[in-house]
Amino acid sequence: MSLAETTSAPEARARGPVPDRLRAPWEAKLKSWESLLLVVAIGIFILNSFASPYFLNAWNLSDATFNFTEKAMIAFAMALLIIAGEIDLSVASIIALASTAMGLVMEAGFGTPAIVATGLVTGLLCGAFNGVLVTRLGLPSIVVTIGTMSLFRGISYIVLGDGAFRGYPSDFAFFGQGYAFWVISVELVIFAVLAVIYGVVLHRTNFGRAVYAIGNNPTGALFSGIRVARVKMILFLLTGLMSGVAAVCLTSRLGSTRPSIASGMELEVVTMVVLGGVNILGGSGSIPGVVIAAFVMGLVTFGLGLLNVPGIVMSIFIGLLLIGVIALPRLWAKFRGRA
C-alpha cells in the first residue's frame, strides 16, 4: 500500500461556481451587535421617558448630548486604534495638555483662531510622540500611553499648579456652547460629521481594510504588503488630533482650563468603544456601533441624572454595563455551543 492509495480519495463534491456571499449584507447586519445595541438604546430611551417627566423635552435632550459628544469624538479614532490592536490611554491627558497650551496662547493675547490651532497641534504632537514610541521603538502601546498619561497631565500641573486659565474670548465659546440651529449644538454637528467621516474611512476605504488586517494578524498584514508601522502611526496621530478637537470643545464649553480637566475620561472613551462592539483584542468592530454606544452612555448618564442618582452610582452602573456587554457574547456562545 502506498501513501497515495490510502489518501487519494478526496470527497466528491458538487462542482459549480462559488457564490460571492451566502447571506445578504443586510441580513448579517440584522443579527449584529449593533442591532442589539440599538434595541438597548431604544429601551433606555423609553425607560427614561417613563421615569422622568422632564426627559422628553427638546432642550433637555439636547443637553443630554453633551454627555457624550466630546468623548465620542475621541472614541471614533480610538475605535480604529483598538481595531488595529493598539490603544491610547493618554487621551484625557492630551486634553489637559492641549487645553493648557490653549490657555497659554490666550494669556499671550492671541485670538480664537490661534487658540484653536494650538489645541489641535498640541493634540497632533502628543499623538506623534505616542506613535513614534510604539512604531519606531516597538514598545507596547498600553505601557507607552500609561506613561504619557502621567507625563502630559504632569506638564499641565506644573504649568498651572492649583490655578486655572480663565477669560477665553467670547467668540471662543462658539465650539462648546454654540448652537448650529434650534437645539442642535455645534458639538453635536461636529460629532455627526466626524461619525460619517470615520465610518467612511473605516468601512469604505483601503486604509480601513488595512486597519482590520493589521488587527487580525499584524504579521500576515506585513507579509501582504501593508505598511503596518505607517498605518499605526497615522492612527496615533488621528487619536491625538481628535483629543485636540475634544480639548477645544471641552475648554470652550467650560470656559476655563484646570489641570484636572477631563480626568478619567480615557476610561469612558475606551468603555464607549468596547460597548460599541469593538473587540478589545483588535480585529473587529464598527463605527455605527460606537455611535449607538455613545447614545446609550449619554442616555444612561442623563437618565440617572434626572433621577437624582449620585455620580458614584452612575460610574458603578457604567462599569456593570461594560462588564455585562463584554460577558454577554461569551455567555451566548457558550450557551449556543451546548445546545
Partner 1 sequence: MGTGQGPVAAQGAVLALDRIIKTFPGVTALDQVQLELHAGEVTSLIGENGAGKSTVVKILTGIYQPDGGQILLDGEPVSFPTAQAASGAGVTAIHQETVLFEELTVAENIFIGHAPRTRFGLIDTAQMRRRAGEILASIGAEIDPGVKLKDLGIASRHLVAIGRALSVEARVVIMDEPTAALSQKEIEELYELVETLKAQGKAILFISHKFDEIFRISDRYTVFRDGQFVGAGKIADVSEGDLVKMMVGRAVDQIFPKRAAQVGDEVLKVVGYSHPTEFEDINFTLRRGEILGFYGLVGAGRSEFMQSLIGITRPSKGAVKLEDHVKVIRSPAEAIEAGIVYVPEDRGKQGAILDLPIFQNVTLPSLRETSHRGFLRLAEEFALTRQYTERLDLRAASLDTTVGSLSGGNQQKVVIAKWLATRPKVIILDEPTKGIDIGSKAAVHEFMSELAAEGLSVIMVSSEIPEILGMSDRVIVMREGRIAAELEGDALTPETLVRHAAGIGVKGEAA
Quick one: which segment of 43-51, 153-161, 225-233, 268-276 binds partner 1 (CB under 8 A)?
Answer: 225-233
Q: Which stretch binds partner 1 (CB under 8 A): 142-150, 220-228, 296-304, 323-331?
A: 220-228
87 within 8 A of 131, measured Cβ to Cβ: no
Dihedral pair phi/psi, residue 309, rounded to 5°? -80, 130
Residue 209 backbone class (left: φ over 0; alpha: ψ -120 to 50; beta: rest): alpha
4 binds partner 1 (CB under 8 A): yes
Question: Which triple of cell numbers denotes residue 125?
Answer: 504632537
Candidates 35, 217, 260, 315; binder of partner 1 (CB under 8 A) is 217
For partner 1, the binding residue among 128, 132, 155, 222 (CB under 8 A) is 222
CA distance 311 to 329: 28
For residue 3, state whether it binds partner 1 (rule: CB under 8 A).
Answer: yes
Q: Which of 161, 182, 219, 330 binds partner 1 (CB under 8 A)?
A: 219
Q: How far apart are CA 141 and CA 87, in angstroms?
A: 6
Count of C-beta atoms within a 10 Å radius of residue 132: 14
| Stretch of 66-74, 134-142, 199-207, 236-244 lying at the interface with partner 1 (CB under 8 A) | 199-207
Contact 38, 275 (CB under 8 A): no
Write down the residue that cell numbers 477665553 correspond to. 168
Is 84 an interacting residue with respect to partner 1 (CB under 8 A)? no
Instruction: Compute the least distance from the CB of residue 228 to partner 1, in Å.
Output: 9
> Which of positions 153-192 make contact with partner 1 (CB under 8 A)?
none
Cβ proximity of 93 and 152 under 8 Å: yes
Q: How far is the CB of 1 from partner 1 (least distance, A)?
A: 7
Of the candidates 96, 77, 55, the residue with the CA atom closest to the CA atom of residue 254: 96
The minimum distance between CB 36 and partner 1, in angstroms, equals 21
Nearest to 272 by CA among 81, 68, 95: 68
Nearer to partner 1, 208 or 288 (CB): 208
Q: Which amino acid is at 198?
A: Y
The runs of H, that is alpha helices, within 23-140 are 25-30, 33-51, 58-65, 69-83, 91-107, 112-135
Residue 207 binds to partner 1 (criterion: CB under 8 A):
yes
339 belongs to the binding site for partner 1 (CB under 8 A): no
User: Using the rule CB under 8 A, which residue among 162, 181, 206, 312 binds partner 1?
Assistant: 206
Q: Residues 259-298 vs partner 1: string with x where CB under 8 A? A: ------------------------xx--------------
**Candidate residues 49, 57, 170, 224; the one interacting with partner 1 per rule CB under 8 A:** 224
17 contributes a contact to partner 1 by CB under 8 A: yes
Residue 138 engages partner 1 in binding (rule: CB under 8 A): no
Q: Is 22 in the site for partner 1 (CB under 8 A)?
A: yes
Quick one: which of 20, 308, 337, 339 contacts partner 1 (CB under 8 A)? 20
Element spanning 179, H or E: strand 179-181
13 near partner 1 (CB under 8 A): yes
Compute the CA torsion angle 154, 155, 157, 161 (nearest 10 deg). 140
* Residue 62 vs 284, nearer CB to partner 1: 284
Which run of H or E residues covers position 222?
helix 218-223
* Alpha-carbon dihedral sign for residues 71, 243, 280, 151: negative
Interface residues with partner 1 (CB under 8 A) are 1-4, 6-8, 10, 13, 17-23, 204-210, 212-213, 216-217, 219-227, 283-284
